[in-house]
A and B are shown apart, each in its own frame.
Chain A
Amino acid sequence: MRVSLTFKAYPSKLPSLPQLSTESAAAAKVTRLPDSTTSRTSLTLASSLESVNTVEKTTEEFAVRAGFDEDTVPNIVMAVREAAINAVFHGNAYDPAKRFTASFEANSDALVIRIADQGPGLDPTTLPDPLAPENILRGSGRGIFLIRAFMDEVHFRQLHPGTELTLIKHRAPAQPAA
């Protein structure tokens, strides 16, 4: 199934997003509020690596459009990609019957991204510290650590079943006038 992401025609000077298409089973919904200060996008996706790439591309487009700078956007993209990988790989375990959702909101204060899976749930307090000497040479276990490193806030919520991660990147405070 093809997926297209388009922003509704709206009296704004912002350029419209380029069309994004993928063969993955997904549904996209986009809402742009009339005050132009908040925009939202949400995706429901199959548990596949292709979906992870879709989320990554959408994140980049959304973050750029929201006005984040070229140094910050790659960090946001990496954090969201890691969250999507967790949802597909650890949460839904590539189960074709399970979907995950990615929702994006940009407002005047921050970019808020939520990734939710349908897996068995994740207790973040049980995750080993990847910086500990006994873990430093492990081949995995750095995803949540990198998400926390690159975002300003990370929140976990149990969905029964599933886990929702909320990733927040605040806008840099405006520079005071000279």
Chain B
Amino acid sequence: MSMKVATRQVDGVTILDLSGRITLGEGSVTLRDSVRDVLAKGSRKILLNLADVSYIDSSGVGELVSAFTSVKNAGGELKLLNLTKKVNDLLQITKLYTVFDIWDNEASAVSAF
């Protein structure tokens, strides 16, 4: 049920590989803490890889939005990579698809920063 996060660097971009569920409670908190952590370490180009995120609820959607605004307020950029169909549908329904910069190719996403 819980979410896991692995962090790596590619050409100056911090990529967070998320896996599991981003839901109210543990998943949302893990995402918030992870983004806060990489911001504190100086990262300003952050790419969230959602390829292995199986499920996001409204709290998780809210946490993605909060991460986006946190990074933006810190003078950085946050982009999304590899959305599953369900997550893609969720962002379409909530009209957040136009808010986020969304990519399905990691090299292209990294180059876009």
Q: How many residues on the B side are at the interface (Cβ–Cβ under 8 A)?
A: 21
| Contact between B65 and A143, CB atoms less than 8 A apart | no
CB nearest to B61 among chain A residues: A142
Task: List the interface of chain B (C-beta within 8 A of A).
Answer: 1, 23-25, 57-59, 61-63, 65-66, 68-69, 86, 90, 93-96, 99
CB nearest to B25 among chain A residues: A49
CB nearest to B28 among chain A residues: A139
A-B contact count (CB 8 A): 48
Given the interface pairs A137-B99, A139-B65, A139-B66, the reply to whether A149 lies near B93 with Cβ below 8 Å is: yes
Residue of B59, B68, B99 touching A140 (CB-CB under 8 A): B59
Q: Which of A10-18, A77-85, A112-120, A156-164 contacts B (4 or more CB under 8 A)?
A: A77-85
Given the interface pairs A53-B1, A138-B62, A142-B61, the reply to whether A89 lies near B99 with Cβ below 8 Å is: no
Q: Within 8 Å of chain B (Cβ to Cβ): is A122?
A: no
Main secondary structure of the interface of B (DSSP, over half): helix
Q: Within 8 Å of chain B (Cβ to Cβ): is A20?
A: no
| Contact between B99 and A85, CB atoms less than 8 A apart | no
Task: List the interface of chain A (C-beta within 8 A of B).
Answer: 49, 52-53, 74, 78, 81-82, 85, 89, 130-131, 136-143, 145-146, 149
Can you list 5 pairs linking A and B with CB atoms under 8 Å apart?
A: A85-B24, A136-B95, A139-B63, A143-B58, A149-B93
| Contact between A49 and B65, CB atoms less than 8 A apart | no
Main secondary structure of the interface of A (DSSP, over half): helix
| Contact between B62 and A140, CB atoms less than 8 A apart | yes
Given the interface pairs A131-B94, A143-B58, the reply to whether A138 lies near B65 with Cβ below 8 Å is: yes
CB nearest to A142 among chain B residues: B58
Residues from chain B with Cβ under 8 Å of A138 in the complex? 62, 65
| Contact between B57 and A82, CB atoms less than 8 A apart | yes
Greatest chain A CB density within 10 A among B1, B58, B59, B86 is at: B58
Greatest chain A CB density within 10 A among B24, B63, B66, B96 is at: B24
Question: In whole angstroms, how far apart are the Cα atoms of A141 and B62 in the complex?
Answer: 8
Whole-angstrom distance between the Cβ of B86 and the nearest chain A Cβ: 6
| Contact between B69 and A137, CB atoms less than 8 A apart | yes
Residue of B65, B68, B69, B93 touching A146 (CB-CB under 8 A): B93
| Contact between A49 and B24, CB atoms less than 8 A apart | yes
Residues from chain A with Cβ under 8 Å of B59 in the complex? 85, 140
Closest 7 CB pairs of A and B: A139-B62, A139-B66, A142-B58, A143-B58, A140-B62, A49-B25, A131-B95
